[in-house]
Structures are given as C-alpha cells and as structure tokens.
Amino acid sequence: MIELWRGLQPRARALIVGFFVLLLAAPLVADRYVLSVLTLILYFAFVGQAWNLMMGYAGQLSLGHALYVGLGAYVAALLWVRFGVGPWLGVFAAIAVAMAFGAVVGWLGFRFGVEGVYFALLTIAAAEFTRIAFDNMSFTGGSGGLFMPYEPGRLGQWWNLRGGQLLFYYVALALAAGGVVLAARLSRSRLGYQWLAVREDETAARSLGIDAFRAKMTAVLVSSGMTAVGGVFYAFYYNNLFPGQVFDIQRSIELILGPIVGGLGTVFGPVVGAFVLTPLGEGLIALTARLGIDAPGAKAVFYGLTLIAIIYLRPNGIWPWLARILGLEERTP
Amino acid sequence: MTWSIYLGVVVQGVLTGLVYGLMALGLSVIFGVVRVVNFAHGEFAVVAMYAAFLLFRSLGLDPLIAFLPIAAAFFVVGFALQATLINAFVGRSEHEQFILLVGVAIVILNGLLMLFGPDAQPANLPYAFDSYAIGPLFIDKVRIYSAVAALAIAAVLFAFFRYTAIGTAIRACADNLTGAAVVGLNVKRLYAVTFGIGLACVGAAGALMVTIADAAPNLGPAYTLLAFIIVIVGGLGSMAGALVGGVLIGVSEALAGFIIQPSMKSMFSFALLIAVLVLRPQGLLGRRA
Amino acid sequence: MSASAAPLLAVERVSKRFRGLLAVDGVSFAVAPGDILAVIGPNGAGKTTLFNMIAGVLAPDEGSIAFAGERIAGLAPDAICRRGIGRTFQIVRPFPALSVADNVVVGALLRNPGVASARRHSLAVLERLDLIDKRAQPASTLTLPDRKRLEVARALATEPKLLLLDEVMAGLRPTETDRMVAILGRLNRESGLTIVLIEHVMRAVMALARRVLVLHHGAAIAEGPPAAIVREPAVIESYLGEEALA
C-alpha cells in the first residue's frame, strides 16, 4: 500500500488527495439534489469496482451481477424487517449468502469449462432464475415487494443506517474509497498477478504453477461478497425492494457500464466511469427537457449513442486515455 | 378430457416455438458465422413487429404477406450495419461487442418508446380469433399460418446455405476463417451478407409474431434472452437446432405457464439453459467445438 | 551425469491414442539430472504430444512417467509445475498486456510468495536472458526472438529442476539461435538445470544436446549421442535426409 503511494508521481498524489477532500467537503456547498446524484455516483463507483475485480483483473465476464446486489439487499432487509438485526451485522449474512451463490455460479462455470460468452449467459440465467424465484416467494414479499418501515423515531440511528441524505452520502463515499483501496492492494498482490495471468492466458498461467480454478473462484467470491455490501446499502437507502427491479438484467448492465467506460482492470477506471456516466444521464434529462423534447426515452437514446461512441473510440476506457494526457499513467501491474 | 387441453397447450407451444425458432435462426447465423454477440437481437424483432403493425394499420397489409418486404428491408439494414459499425468489432473482446450492441439495443428500444409509447399495441387482425377445429383441439389460425411461414422461410434458408455458392462460402467462413480468406473469399462482404440474412430472419419472425403477440418496446430484452436460450439449447451452428430449440422452449414455456404459473414460465427455460451450458454446451444438435 | 545416478525423469512405455490415431507408441527414455536431451523427428512424430503428457496437459493411455521418483502421469499442469517441471510452448504465449518484467514475476511468484522478492528474482532472471533492458515494455511489443527468450525466462522463474523446451529455436536467425544455445548451455553448466528440448534446428541440437532421442510415427527409433544419431540410417531415411550429412 505504501509502496503504491510512493510509486505515484507527486502530481497524481495531489490530485487524489484533492479530489477526496473535495468530496468530503461537498455537503457544505451542494444541495440535496446534487448530493443525491453524488451518492448514486459513489454507489456505482463501489459496485463497479467489485465487478471490475472479477472482469478487469480475472477476466471473467459476469452479466448477472445484479444477482449479488439483490441478494445482499434482500438478506439485510429481511434481517432488519423480520428480526430487527441491524445492517452492521446483517452485512455479514448478506456477504455470506452472495458468496454462496457466487460459489455455485463459479463452480458450474469453471469446473465445466464454461467460458466467455457462455459464462456470461450462465450468469444472466442465474440472475433471471433468482429474480423469478423471488417474484414468487411470499417470504420475501414476492413481486409486491419488500418494504423497510418508515420509523421517524429512529432517525439519527446511523448504526442502523436510518438517517438522511448526508448519512448515506458519507457511507457511499466510504464504500467507494474502500473499494479503491481494496482494488489497489489486490492488483499489486500475488493474487492480483495470478488473476492477470489467468485473464491473459489461462493455459500459460497453469504452466507456471497457478491453480486457475482457485484463482477464478477467489475472484468470484471477492466480487460477489463486495457487491453484496452495495446491496445492503441499496436496501437501506431506497427502503423498498422489488425482484423485478433489483435483480433485473438492466441493473446488471447499468452496473458494468461505469468500469468499462472508465477503464477495465484499472484502479480508478470504475470511479472515473461512474463520474462520467451518471452526470451524463442526469445532464441528458435536463438537456432534453431544455430542448423541449418531451418524449420519454429521449434521454436514453442519447445515452445509448454515447455508449456506442465511447466503446468505438476509447475501447480501453476513458481513464487510461485521460491518465496519459495528464501524465498520470497508472503503472499497469 | 383434460389430455386434450394439455395437447392443445403443447400444440400452441410448438407453433409459437417455430416462430421463435425463426428468430433464433437469425441469431444462430449471426453468432455462428460472424461470431458477434448480438445483444440487440430481440430489439430488432420488436422493430419488425411495429413495422408489420404499421403496415397493417395504414395499408391493411396482412403481416403474413408484409413479412416479405420487411425481411428484405431488414436484410439491407443488417448488411449496412455490419459493413459500417459492427465490422470494427469482429474479433474484439466479448465485453466490447456486448457494450456496442447494448448501446444499439438501448437506442432502438427507447426510439420505439419515443415513437409509440410504452403501451402494447395489438394488431387486431380480423381473423385473429378464428381457429381450426382439428379433432378435439381448437388451434388458432394465426398460429398455424405463422408457423407454416416460419418453416417455409427456414427451408428456403436451408436450401440457400446448402445449394448456392454464396451460402457455401458463408459456411466456409464459419468453419475455417483463415482458410476462407486464403482461398480468396471476400470475408468482409460475406459477413455483411450473413448479418443481413440474420436480421432478415428476425424481421420476418417479428412480423409473424405480431399476429400472436402485441407489440411493445419492453419485449426487446426478453426476446433477446429467448433467442440466446434457444440457440444454445438447440445447438450453435445448426439451423435445425434453432427450430428444434424453438419448439422445445415454446412447448416448455407453454406447459410451465399452464401447469405452474404464467409468471414462472421462464424459470424452466433458464434452468434448462444452465443445464445445457454446463453439461452439453453443443446443445441438442450442434457440433462439438 | 554418472550412469548409476537415479534419473530425474523416467518415461516408461508411454502411449497416447487420439480416436484411433496412435500418436505416441510405447516410448521409453530416462533423463539424468544435469543432462540435456533433444527429441527430434518429423512433424507428426508425436514429440509435442509426448511433452504434453509430461507437462500434464494430457494423460497417457498407457505407461508411466516418474519425476524425481514420484509418479506424475495424469497430474494437472499447475501441479506438475509446482513439482519442478517448467515448460515453454511451441507457439509462444506471453501475457500481452503485462510488461516483460511482470510476465516473469508471474512465474517467480511460485517460489517467492512475496511480490517484492518475486520482482527481485525476476530481474535476475531477465539479466541472464538478456532482456533486462526491455523489462518495462509490454510483452505484446516484443519481437519473436525476444518473446522466445521471455518464454524461457518466465519458465525459469519458477525455479524448475527440469525444463521442457518446445521448438524454442523455431523462427530464429542463426545468430539468435547461437545466443539461445549459449544461454541454455550456461544455465545447464552453472545451475545443473536439466533440459529436454524438442527441436528441428539441427544446429542447436548438435551444439547443445548430449543425447538425442528420435521419434517417428510415435515410436522411438533411435537414441544416443548426437554425432552417432545423425549417422544412423533409419534416422537419415525418416527425417534428416542425405544432405544433413554434408
């Protein structure tokens, strides 16, 4: 960790610290709407980072990551609503359940040689299957949804994540920052090297003594567990869960846009991606309103066109290109 | 006699499944030859549905005839799309292709949303509720007609790939790309033709589908997934596999929706997909890679 | 290299069939520690299949393979590497997005769990293989000869007792071939590294190998010192051709 910090140029260090301080101080100047957008950005920076570990480093394409968000959310929410267990304890159960599902998906894929697109389809199927299952389970509220009760008396109980926008903003900031630190540590660790080797050429990696199955399983477990923490946040932030929303494939797609647009396999890619895409979406809403285009879907059309443009012009993501321009090259491990 | 009800459900499933199979055939051709993960496949089908719907509403053109010009138009679109945008992504990593086509899907889906709104639009064909009485069963005429049309198109396609020079050239590309290029086949042009054919299938299938389902923008992602499930289960690279897979999925969804619950009908399909991916990745009729 | 020393690698009557095609037919040989054995023969003779069985990519249908006294036939490739056998691939497989140094670090991490010590070890290996100047370059930018040396460096970083080289000279110019031969010869002399190499480049075989095994249609047809092998009628007929003697 210290070695990573020392490896950065002074300019890069200043930028990182400066940016972080800005984010810390944001509530002083930002209104509630801006704070809510920032919270959303930081949430996506966190779950995007979790997905980035599995895809950007270990090279395993998961298109059903909403599965782990949903599982984390539902487990924590159920523990709270039915048993009064707070999120700081509930998160462990959430991580455990998500990891269990991740282990099954990973085992099915890696043990049976399901790779690439086929593995991606496997992850989609797992998420969809779970979505439909939850839709039909009354224990979880079914398709009607699970609601966290509104308890004004609990406001201020930060340990139960009952609070206002400010509380969730700082929790999201902590998560995003923690995600960056975790990615930085892992990427330069032995495990990180093994992941990269497996990603680049699994056969060659195995010939060098790397247990590819174990490396890939570790990636799935870390990624799913980390994503579940995002799910816990989601549950306590939005206070309502519907299987059709939480597990939806559109959520899985949403989650991966940030890291891909920002830069796969880089520590800051998911953060940059989230900071580019979310305001882009919000900005497009404002733009289409300003231009007087009233039709629903107009913003999304521009959004889709932007995606196409980015993946066409900067397939490695915005961050590597930006870093090169600013002279801040992230040393590729 | 309840068995006749079950039989009726199964037959409906088979007929619907044949139309799904035609849509999946388009994906099998695209995915199997050009090797692009077309995640906008279902959205194209929905565009075709709307096209057929519009032609019917404005010109009174029956979708069972309209599918021909629609398929032709889709061929041109597919050819152009592949030659311009998608060609740059052939051979690139899967996640890049995925994002590209997700972008295309978003544009299409929301474009449709802007033009037509979110509500489902039924075509309301005059004979939509007519049925043939065959034995104890009542089978919707529209399902029979569209299934027959789907089979006819598939047969034409099969003949094309088997007996024409271009068809053989395309199969060569799928089989051995380097070899095909080495013997002088214009791979880029063949890819464009293939993509055109693939989208033509989708166009025809979509037009046929509007006789049995209402057009709505949000059907796009569901149809995309359906097409992938059918292609994997039926077997990549096998045209018969796409049709067989379509029938299988059509029947299983019909039965699952009938026996268990309509909301759970896709669960079986996803479970089947997982099982096939893990245990028999070449699907029912596909070749082992 | 005394005759009474226990062999490091003992391959006994190993066979492999691919759906009716007998790729390797009852091949037996032994390699003493510190020895250099070259495996030669026409294409399709079964050389790479033999290698793949030793390296764990394939399991033999018959016969046994013992390494340092332990039976290793059928073990997975990563398990084989952990036991001390390193290998290179006929078509080189660098990690393209990683730097030259990091490619080797991946190998070094096997015996050096700490990343820092793995890096130090890698740099030492890169020095021996004359790649130290290119350590920060992405592997994808290397020329073929450099890629071949990188492949060897990476395998060496795992500190193997036995190194399997699959046509490592293919595509190299004579000067580069000599360079590689010099590096391998030095490694063998200085560290006692045992080497088994598949080769078509006879220049390298004659310069490096102490013994040669000749395969043809999956079977061993000759074994002995290089000078004797190139004169064997069976070898000339099946592989070398009369011109090789010129």
Q: How far apart are CA C4 and CA B206, in angstroms?
A: 78
Shortest distance between the Cα of C224 and any Cα of chain A, in A, equals 29
Q: How far apart are CA A304 and CA A75, in angstroms?
A: 33
B near A: at least 3 beta-carbon pairs less than 8 Å apart: yes
pTM of the model: 0.90
Tell me the pLDDT tens digit for each residue of C132-188: 999 999 999 999 999 999 999 999 999 999 999 999 998 888 999 999 999 999 999
Going from the C-alpha of A34 to that of each of A125, A171, B29, B231, the distances in angstroms are: 36, 16, 47, 45
Shortest distance between the Cα of A191 and any Cα of chain C, in A, equals 10
Q: Are B11 and B236 in contact (CB under 8 A)?
A: no
Q: Provide the angle, in degrees to the nearest 10, between the axes of the packed helices A249-262 and A66-83.
A: 120
Residue B74 lies in a domain: yes
> A52: how many CB neighbours lie within 10 A of its CB?
30
Residue B64, pLDDT score: 87
Identify which of B99, B110, B281 has the shortest CB distance to residue A118. B281
DSSP C97-139: TSBHHHHHHHHHTTT--SHHHHHHHHHHHHHHTT-GGGTTSBG
Q: Are C8 and C68 in contact (CB under 8 A)?
A: yes
Tell me the pLDDT tens digit for each residue of C5-57: 689 999 999 999 998 889 999 999 999 999 999 999 988 889 999 999 999 99
With CB atoms and an 8 Å threshold, state whether B221 touches A124. Answer: no
Residue B25, pLDDT score: 94
Q: Which residues contact B124 (CB under 8 A, 6 or more apart)?
A: none
Helix (H, G, I), strand (E, B) or coil at A299: helix
Q: Which residues contact B245 (CB under 8 A, 6 or more apart)?
A: B21, B24, B229, B230, B231, B232, B233, B234, B235, B283, B284
Residue C59, pLDDT score: 94
Helix (H, G, I), strand (E, B) or coil at A7: helix
Of A14, A20, A16, nearest to A170 by C-alpha is A20
Quick one: tokens of C170? 């293919």
Quick one: tokens of A220? 């799935």
Shortest distance between the Cα of A198 and any Cα of chain C, in A, equals 9
Tell me which chain C residues have a C-beta less than 8 angstroms from the C-beta of A189: 115
Check: CATH 3.40.50.300 for C9-84+160-245? yes
Classify residue A153 by burial, with Cβ atoms within 10 Å: 0-12, 13-18, 19+: exposed
Q: How far apart are CA C30 and CA C36, in angstroms?
A: 11
A 119-148 residues with CB < 8 A to B: 120-122, 124-126, 128-129, 132-133, 135-136, 143
Tell me the pLDDT tens digit for each residue of C65-103: 999 999 999 999 999 999 999 999 999 999 999 999 999
Tell me which chain A residues have a C-beta less than 8 angstroms from the C-beta of C107: 208-209
Residue A320 lies in a domain: no
Residue A332 lies in a domain: no
Handedness of CA A161, A167, A172, A175 (dihedral sign): negative
- Using a CB–CB cutoff of 8 Å, tell me whether A115 touches chain B: no
With CB atoms and an 8 Å threshold, state whether C96 touches A200. Answer: yes
Question: Which residue range is the domain that position A18 belongs to?
Answer: 2-256
3-state secondary structure string across chain B: CHHHHHHHHHHHHHHHHHHHHHHHHHHHHHHHHHCCCCCCHHHHHHHHHHHHHHHHHHHCCCHHHHHHHHHHHHHHHHHHHHHHCHHHHCCCCHHHHHHHHHHHHHHHHHHHHHHHCCCCECCCCCCCCCEEEECCEEEEHHHHHHHHHHHHHHHHHHHHHHHCHHHHHHHHHHHCHHHHHHCCCCHHHHHHHHHHHHHHHHHHHHHHHCCCCCECCCHHHHHHHHHHHHHHHHCCCCHHHHHHHHHHHHHHHHHHHHHCCHHHHHHHHHHHHHHHHHHCCCCCCCCCC
Quick one: tokens of A256? 């991966």
Question: Which residue range is the domain that position B158 belongs to?
Answer: 2-279
H or E element in which residue C64 lies: strand C62-67
Residues of chain B with pLDDT under 50: 289
Residue B262, pLDDT score: 79
Identify which of B112, B261, B278 has the shortest CB distance to residue A114. B278
Q: How far apart are CA C199 and CA C213, in angstroms?
A: 11
Residue A330, pLDDT score: 56
- Mutation target for B interface from A67, A307, A314, A316: give the one with most B CBs within 10 A: A307
Handedness of CA A171, A172, A174, A179 (dihedral sign): positive
Identify which of A193, A207, A211 has the shortest CB distance to residue C109. A193
B near C: at least 3 beta-carbon pairs less than 8 Å apart: no
Q: How far apart are CA A98 and CA A226, in angstroms?
A: 9
Identify which of B95, B277, B279 has the shortest CB distance to residue A121. B277
A 294-313 residues with CB < 8 A to B: 295-298, 300-301, 303-308, 311-312
Question: Up-side HSE of residue A99: CA atoms within 13 Å toward CB?
Answer: 14
Tell me which chain B residues have a C-beta less than 8 angstroms from the C-beta of A120: 94, 98
Tell me which chain A residues have a C-beta less than 8 angstroms from the C-beta of C114: 190
Nearest CA in chain B to A129: B267
Residue A327, pLDDT score: 74
Nearest CA in chain A to C52: A207
| C-alpha distance across the termini of chain A, in Å | 14
Classify residue C150 by burial, with Cβ atoms within 10 Å: 0-12, 13-18, 19+: buried
> B58: how many CB neighbours lie within 10 A of its CB?
8
Shortest distance between the Cα of A277 and any Cα of chain B, in A, equals 13
Residue A58 lies in a domain: yes
Of A5, A28, A304, nearest to A166 by C-alpha is A28
Residues of chain A with pLDDT under 70: 1-8, 294-295, 328-333
- CATH number, domain of A87, equals 1.10.3470
Q: How far apart are CA A199 and CA C97, in angstroms?
A: 10
Residue B253 lies in a domain: yes
Q: How far apart are CA B44 and CA B49, in angstroms?
A: 9
Residue A8, pLDDT score: 67
Residue B131, pLDDT score: 81
CA dihedral A121, A124, A129, A130 (to 10 degrees): 150
Identify which of A201, A208, A332 has the shortest CB distance to residue C107. A208
Residue C163, pLDDT score: 97
Residue A332, pLDDT score: 46
Tell me the pLDDT tens digit for each residue of B10-63: 998 999 999 999 999 999 999 888 888 899 999 999 999 999 999 998 888 888
Q: Are A271 and A176 in contact (CB under 8 A)?
A: yes
Helix (H, G, I), strand (E, B) or coil at C7: coil
- Domain boundaries in chain C? 9-84+160-245, 93-155
Residue B270, pLDDT score: 93
Tell me which chain B residues have a C-beta less than 8 angstroms from the C-beta of A143: 263
With CB atoms and an 8 Å threshold, state whether B104 touches A308. Answer: yes
Which other chains touch chain B, taking contact as 3+ CB pairs less than 8 Å apart? A
Number of structural domains found in chain B: 1
Residue A1, pLDDT score: 53
Residue A302, pLDDT score: 81
Of B215, B54, B211, B213, nearest to B121 by C-alpha is B215
Identify which of B103, B264, B270 has the shortest CB distance to residue A308. B103
H or E element in which residue C69 lies: none
Q: Enter the ipTM.
A: 0.91
Tell me how far the alpha carbon of residue B90 is from its chain's centroid.
Answer: 21
Residue C242, pLDDT score: 64
A 179-218 residues with CB < 8 A to B: none
Residue B284 lies in a domain: no
Q: Are B30 and B240 in contact (CB under 8 A)?
A: no
With CB atoms and an 8 Å threshold, state whether C89 touches A333. Answer: no
